[in-house]
Amino acid sequence: MNIRQQYQELESKVLHPKACLSSQTKGRLRPEQEDDIRTPFQRDRDRIIHSKAFRRLKHKTQVFFSPQGDHYRTRLTHVLEVSQISRTIARALGLNEDLTEAIALGHDLGHTPFGHAGEAILRQLHPGGFEHYEQSLRVVDVLEKNGEGLNLTFEVRDGILKHSKGKGKILSDEPTTLEGQIVRIGDIIAYLNHDIDDALRAGIIKKRDIPEKFLKFFGERHSTRIDRMVRDVIFTTIREDYTRISMSSEMEEMVYEFRDFLFEKVYYNERVIQESEKAKKILENLYNYYLENPHIIDAQGLSEQELHRKICDFIAGMTDRYALYTFEKIFIPKSWAVP
């Protein structure tokens, strides 16, 4: 019995009966020989961490574009916070921490430069529409490793595809595994707390702008709020016998209200919207430029549909700073040197 098999035997003994065991994965798009040390979910986690798309997240917007301050969140720090929160919940519930971590680290690989502003403009420009969760799956299935993809397991791919909720339902049994449901909830716990923290740092809101009922219910400190939410998820799920990953009705109601507050005061803030519109214009100009000059991205000779797809993939993969650099290079006149 090799190390992987020993670990998988341990999983079957110590994890909750409703945990997704790595030995019972539904497999990969293309069959592979098993590793003798790592389980399938551990291999998926490692493939995600070592991918180019994962490294680019460090220069992609969470909420505030290309921030000069060192302490603003980026898309990379967001997925790390989602991973930490989700792993805590998974471990406490006796679910598969490796699967949870892999989903959390991979859930935003397809996010655009400039955050949801970039997603919105690509949704408008690309004939097939655009959703970052679908693009994340496309990254791991098709785009990474020069078109080979990462060939991840069904369970990780399912969690990546079904993590997003926008302003929709927080609680959902749409993800096939409980571990996928954890990441769906861990995502909102992370962004509600770090986005409000960054909004305070940016001066978009003041602490006095936060309704007192939120401070009393969740707590005044970043760590206290996260702890309150995480504990509620853990103990509610246990009380409901793991029917799905759940929140108490009181917590769920307050989280919805807190999310609405964040949308109104931060995401729809006039200053944030103004910068979003600038970001959209940058990406719109780049998109149209590549339509007119497909040779720039080696897309000459493609059908119209294929060309749009390639441009969409190319722009979605950009970091904030690469998009800004490319826009400046193409559209901003250069100063002539003094002879």
pLDDT in tens, 5-64: 999 999 999 999 999 999 999 999 999 999 999 999 999 999 999 999 999 999 998 888
Give the pLDDT band (50/70/90) at residue 171: confident
Kindly tell me if the per-residue pLDDT of 287 is higher than 70: yes
Q: What is the pLDDT of residue 168?
A: 80
Q: How far is residue 333's CA from residue 279's CA, in Å, rounded to a whole number?
A: 19
Q: What pLDDT is attached to residue 165?
A: 72
pLDDT at position 67 is: 65
Comparing CA positions, the residue from 109, 110, 91 lying closest to residue 100 is 91
- Percent of the chain at pLDDT > 90 equals 91
For residue 164, pLDDT beyond 90: no
Average pLDDT (204-213) is: 94
What confidence tier does 217 reach under pLDDT thresholds 50, 70, 90? Answer: very high
Strand partners, 28: 153
pLDDT for the residue numbered 6: 98
Q: What is the pLDDT of residue 301?
A: 93
339 vs 329: CA distance, rounded Å: 22
Tell me the pLDDT tens digit for each residue of 38-53.
999 999 999 999 999 9
CA distance 294 to 111: 23
Give the chain's domains with CATH numbers.
Answer: 30-323 (1.10.3210.10)
SS3 108: coil
Q: Which two tokens stand for residue 220?
A: 């005044």
**53 φ, ψ (degrees, to nearest 5):** -60, -40
Say if CB 158 and CB 180 are below 8 A apart: yes
267 confidence band (pLDDT: 50, 70, 90)? very high
Tokens of 310: 């390639």
Query: Sign of the CA dihedral 154, 155, 158, 159?
Result: negative
153 three-class SS? strand
Q: Which pLDDT belongs to residue 167?
A: 78
Average pLDDT, the chain: 95
- Given a cut of 90, whether residue 182 has pLDDT beyond it is yes
pLDDT reading at 303 higher than 80:
yes
Distances (CA, A) of 44 to 109, 123, 153, 171, 228: 13, 29, 7, 25, 30
- With beta carbons less than 8 A apart as the criterion, state whether 159 and 185 touch: no
pLDDT in tens, 64-109: 876 667 888 999 999 999 999 999 999 999 999 999 999 999 999 9
pLDDT tier at 173, thresholds 50, 70, 90: confident
Q: Name 60's Cβ contacts closer than 8 Å, sequence gap at least 6.
A: 74, 75, 76, 111, 112, 113, 115, 319, 320
Q: Sign (positive/negative) of CA torsion 212, 216, 219, 220? A: positive
